[in-house]
Chain A
Amino acid sequence: MTTFLIRRLFQMLIVILLAAIASYALLYLAPGGPLVALQQRQRGGAQGVTEEDIARIRARFELDLHPAVRFTRWFVGLPRGPINLGGQALLAEMHVGCTQTGQVQLTYPDGRTDIVEECIDPLTLAELEGRRVSRGVLFGDFGLSQVILRDRPISALIWSRLPYTLALMGVSTLLAILFGVIIGVYSAVRQYSRFDYFMTTLAFIGASLPTFFFGIMLILVLAVWAKDAGLPYLPSGNATANRDYVVPLLGTVDAGSPLDFLLHFIMPCAVLTFVSIAQWSRFVRASMLEVLRQDYVRTARAKGVRERLVIAKHALRNALIPFITLLAGVLPTLFAGAAVTEAVFNWPGLGQLLLDALERFDYMVAMALLYITIVLQLVGYLISDILYTVVDPRIRLT
């Protein structure tokens, strides 16, 4: 077990490194980058962006550094400057980037001339000293937000949104598992009954529907039509209201009160629950059907154990073993798995943060969210492997 853990952790570290490189490359090797929009504006002459502005922005986004150096500074927060060894600054003159590129005229010995694009003002390691740098993504410091909350740490931004997403995803996942298990077990015990047909069809529809369509329909019925008809209605977006409002039967709802939050919470939670009940119930049904055919279930029945007990104890327990692989997939979705639903209901969670970041080109925030999700996913796999041995003693990890 220990060797297994050590090996897996080591593998995980390598995958995290590769994933970090790949996602960083995705952002910066794409043609353009953050400067394109500015340069286009400059060409239009609307705002008059000067060369100095460009240089300042390049320094701010560290675009004047070589990609590899930029990556290590983002990932582990190094290099910060020259290495100090016994009062001596080593490698101070090493070039790590270029503050200005320009055209250089080369004259060859035979008199030919050639104009090449080259760095005319290289950036040395010594000049990096004193520049702002994060402690590195690997150690949980995601740097500063550039647009959404300018110069505030990204981690603060994430912490402020996390409770909303956790509440939404946590409650809806628990509800979905609860309903999913009940429906799945019942469908399996009464296979091909009317209930089974109804539920499998419903699960099928739930799995093939785009989430946002279901969300919009819910808003249409519970918010728009219900309000028009004078029935009790639910607020259509946000987590809390800005001012008090009156709901028929419930009376006045104070803005920011727990009831206000609850009313806002119901619809997004219902959407997420409905969509994932389908997945859970299908899975439990298939797994239960498998187990119910086993000999030990027949033995239990033959012994005269009550049917209820057979299903709850002999069958369900064993049917839930493969369930654990699905739980591993839940961990990353708890984090930013509900971008679409959050967008439909304007729920101020992490999914919405991701969309905001992309819309306003605050790519560092998007990168942080992507990176955390990947790490959570890998941790989820590891946990599910370990849980397997706990639940099923027949499995040993070596």
Chain B
Amino acid sequence: MATTSPVAGVDELRDTRSEGQWSIVLRRFRRHHLAMISLVVLLLILLAAFFAPYLTPFSPRENDITKRFLTPLTADPDTGQLHIFGTDNLGRDYFTRVLYAGRVSLTVALTTSTIAVLIGIFLGLLAGYFGGWIDIAITRTLEFISTFPLFIVLLILSSILLQNESLIPIPDFAVSITAALTAVPDTEARKVTLLVLALALLNWTPTARLMRGMVLSVREQVYIESSRALGASNPRIIWRHVFPNAYPPIIVDFTLLINTILVLESSLSFLGFGVQDPTPTWGNMLAFAQSNMFNEPWLPLVPGLPLLLCALAINFIGDGMRDALDPRLKL
């Protein structure tokens, strides 16, 4: 084999260096077949959920008592349009509701985990970089929050919030963003926003802990010291040097958090303390399905399978990300 370089392997080295860090990660991610399949599945579900108005002629909230519990694949008595999965106890098209429910569930999961991760990153950076009393205050808060049983607190909190929903001030822009993303009227979007905030407030702690740990190790590196010697300000050091070197594990954490929130939200909605009925989510549809499953045994499968697929897909993607980002696997 003819080599152009006197040292074996230098060509390969040069090859990888010309390739950006992200394309290496992407290449490794693509090798994880299960994660790639999961990504496709998740994208399909997301697309179906967000293009719901184009996929189905029915509205998710228009009830008609005369059309209760139509069997799957029956034509609508008035318009002749097909009810693919039949209708529910109020005569609403079940297929339509599953699509819109996906929209609500996934929006809640994505926005909540984004907010939680942002809070976590911010506080983790502060605690890790500055140390001292800031660190003590933040870590003590973290420890204190983790003595509370998450699910019980969440149940109590959302039951109180839902009861006094009209008394809590929420900025209008937050409500209208939620309304636009979930395609529900503003009054329902308010409740969804409250749930998002409650979930986010209780779920930022793992990210903050992880971020703090990463920052603590990055902070001691020589390049930080040299940057400081060159007179860089703290915000610049944090933004240009600390954060870019500390965030890769956060991506995995973020992916897994999406699943945690998806499961939490659907459990809460299933129990009646999350998103409430006229707004569809997979959780509250499953609650309805359970109470009617003795007559219509297939009912729980319709919202259950997309929920199951999403949960699995997100976890497999997280797994793939972990493999792709793990520096121990390099070269």
- Do A and B share a complex? yes
A residues neighboring B (CB under 8 Å): 15, 18-19, 22-23, 26-27, 30-33, 36-37, 204-205, 207-213, 216-217, 219-220, 224-225, 228, 236, 332, 336-337, 339-340, 343-344, 354-355, 358-359, 361, 363, 366, 369-370, 373-374, 377-378
A-B contact pairs, 8 of them (CB 8 A): A23-B148, A204-B315, A204-B319, A208-B315, A213-B304, A217-B304, A339-B271, A359-B272
Question: Which chain B residue has the least Cβ–Cβ distance from A207?
Answer: B315
Contact: B160 with A355, CB < 8 Å? no
- Complex partner residue of A377 from B147, B290, B300, CB under 8 angstroms: B147
Contact: B311 with A210, CB < 8 Å? yes
* Bound-state Cα–Cα, A337 to B286, Å: 21
Contact: A354 with B155, CB < 8 Å? yes
Contact: A336 with B152, CB < 8 Å? yes
Contact: A358 with B159, CB < 8 Å? yes
Binary contact readout B138-162 vs A (1 if CB under 8 angstroms, 0 otherwise): 0000001001110111011101110
Report A-chain residues with C-beta under 8 Å of the C-beta of B168: 31
Report B-chain residues with C-beta under 8 Å of the C-beta of A337: 149, 151
State how many angstroms separate the Cβ of A63 from the closest Cβ of chain B.
Answer: 14
Contact: A340 with B267, CB < 8 Å? yes
Contact: A26 with B272, CB < 8 Å? no
- Complex partner residue of A374 from B147, B266, B304, B312, CB under 8 angstroms: B147
Q: How large is the interface on B (under 10, 10 to 19, 20 to 34, 35 or more residues)?
A: 35 or more
Contact: B167 with A32, CB < 8 Å? yes
State how many angstroms separate the Cβ of A212 from the closest Cβ of chain B.
Answer: 5
- Complex partner residue of B160 from A30, A209, A212, CB under 8 angstroms: A30
Report B-chain residues with C-beta under 8 Å of the C-beta of A30: 160-161, 164
State how many angstroms separate the Cβ of A261 from the closest Cβ of chain B.
Answer: 22
Q: In this assembly, does B163 line the interface, its C-beta being within 8 Å of a C-beta of chain A?
A: yes
Contact: A27 with B156, CB < 8 Å? yes
- Complex partner residue of B149 from A22, A32, A224, A374, CB under 8 angstroms: A374
Report B-chain residues with C-beta under 8 Å of the C-beta of A378: 147
Question: Which chain B residue has the least Cβ–Cβ distance from A36?
Answer: B164
Q: In this assembly, does B293 line the interface, its C-beta being within 8 Å of a C-beta of chain A?
A: yes
* Bound-state Cα–Cα, A369 to B155, Å: 12
Q: In this assembly, does B85 line the interface, its C-beta being within 8 Å of a C-beta of chain A?
A: no
Task: Decide yes or no: A31 and B147 within 8 Å by CB, A204-B315, A343-B271, A358-B273 being known contacts.
Answer: no
Report B-chain residues with C-beta under 8 Å of the C-beta of A18: 144
Report A-chain residues with C-beta under 8 Å of the C-beta of B193: none
Contact: A224 with B293, CB < 8 Å? yes
- Complex partner residue of A336 from B149, B267, B293, B294, CB under 8 angstroms: B149
State how many angstroms separate the Cβ of A254 from the closest Cβ of chain B.
Answer: 23
Binary contact readout B267-285 vs A (1 if CB under 8 angstroms, 0 otherwise): 1001111000000000000
Q: In this assembly, does B170 line the interface, its C-beta being within 8 Å of a C-beta of chain A?
A: no
Count chain B CB atoms within 10 A of each CB in A23, A27, A358 and give the residue with the most: A358
Report A-chain residues with C-beta under 8 Å of the C-beta of B153: 23, 26, 370
Contact: B149 with A332, CB < 8 Å? yes
Q: In this assembly, does B289 line the interface, its C-beta being within 8 Å of a C-beta of chain A?
A: yes
Count of A-B contacts with CB under 8 A? 127
Report A-chain residues with C-beta under 8 Å of the C-beta of B26: none
Report B-chain residues with C-beta under 8 Å of the C-beta of A37: 163
Contact: A377 with B149, CB < 8 Å? yes
State how many angstroms separate the Cβ of B292 from the closest Cβ of chain A.
Answer: 11
* Bound-state Cα–Cα, A278 to B312, Å: 14
State how many angstroms separate the Cβ of A90 from the closest Cβ of chain B.
Answer: 36
Report A-chain residues with C-beta under 8 Å of the C-beta of B312: 205, 208
Q: In this assembly, does B297 line the interface, its C-beta being within 8 Å of a C-beta of chain A?
A: yes
* Bound-state Cα–Cα, A183 to B109, Å: 32
Contact: A31 with B167, CB < 8 Å? yes
- Complex partner residue of A219 from B161, B267, B293, CB under 8 angstroms: B293
* Bound-state Cα–Cα, A212 to B311, Å: 13
State how many angstroms separate the Cβ of B153 from the closest Cβ of chain A.
Answer: 7
Q: In this assembly, does B308 line the interface, its C-beta being within 8 Å of a C-beta of chain A?
A: yes
Knowing that A358-B159, A361-B163 are A-B contacts, what are 17 other residue pairs whose CB atoms are under 8 Å apart, sorted by A's residue number? A22-B144, A23-B148, A27-B156, A27-B160, A32-B164, A33-B164, A36-B163, A208-B259, A210-B270, A213-B308, A216-B289, A217-B300, A224-B297, A332-B149, A337-B151, A339-B152, A359-B272
State how many angstroms separate the Cβ of A363 from the closest Cβ of chain B.
Answer: 8
Q: In this assembly, does B121 line the interface, its C-beta being within 8 Å of a C-beta of chain A?
A: no
- Complex partner residue of A26 from B156, B266, B273, CB under 8 angstroms: B156
Q: In this assembly, does B210 line the interface, its C-beta being within 8 Å of a C-beta of chain A?
A: no
Contact: B149 with A373, CB < 8 Å? yes
Report A-chain residues with C-beta under 8 Å of the C-beta of B46: none
- Complex partner residue of B152 from A19, A209, A217, A370, CB under 8 angstroms: A370
Chain B contacts with A in 296-311, Cβ cutoff 8 A: 297, 300-301, 304, 307-308, 311
State how many angstroms separate the Cβ of A59 from the closest Cβ of chain B.
Answer: 21
Contact: A366 with B156, CB < 8 Å? yes
Contact: A340 with B271, CB < 8 Å? yes
Report A-chain residues with C-beta under 8 Å of the C-beta of B157: 26
Report A-chain residues with C-beta under 8 Å of the C-beta of B301: 220
Q: In this assembly, does B82 line the interface, its C-beta being within 8 Å of a C-beta of chain A?
A: no
* Bound-state Cα–Cα, A37 to B164, Å: 9
* Bound-state Cα–Cα, A81 to B163, Å: 34
Report B-chain residues with C-beta under 8 Å of the C-beta of A369: 152
* Bound-state Cα–Cα, A377 to B267, Å: 22
- Complex partner residue of A19 from B148, B159, B286, B308, CB under 8 angstroms: B148
Q: In this assembly, does B25 line the interface, its C-beta being within 8 Å of a C-beta of chain A?
A: no
Report A-chain residues with C-beta under 8 Å of the C-beta of B273: 358
Report B-chain residues with C-beta under 8 Å of the C-beta of A220: 293, 297, 300-301
Question: Which chain A residue has the least Cβ–Cβ distance from B144?
Answer: A18
Contact: A216 with B290, CB < 8 Å? yes
Report A-chain residues with C-beta under 8 Å of the C-beta of B304: 213, 216-217
- Complex partner residue of A358 from B156, B297, B314, B315, CB under 8 angstroms: B156
Report B-chain residues with C-beta under 8 Å of the C-beta of A31: 164, 167-168
Report A-chain residues with C-beta under 8 Å of the C-beta of B272: 359
Q: In this assembly, does B118 line the interface, its C-beta being within 8 Å of a C-beta of chain A?
A: no
Question: Which chain B residue has the least Cβ–Cβ distance from A225?
Answer: B297
Report A-chain residues with C-beta under 8 Å of the C-beta of B297: 220, 224-225, 228
* Bound-state Cα–Cα, A26 to B149, Å: 14
Task: Decide yes or no: A211 and B267 within 8 Å by CB, A36-B163, A219-B293, A359-B272 being known contacts.
Answer: yes
Question: Which chain B residue has the least Cβ–Cβ distance from A332?
Answer: B149
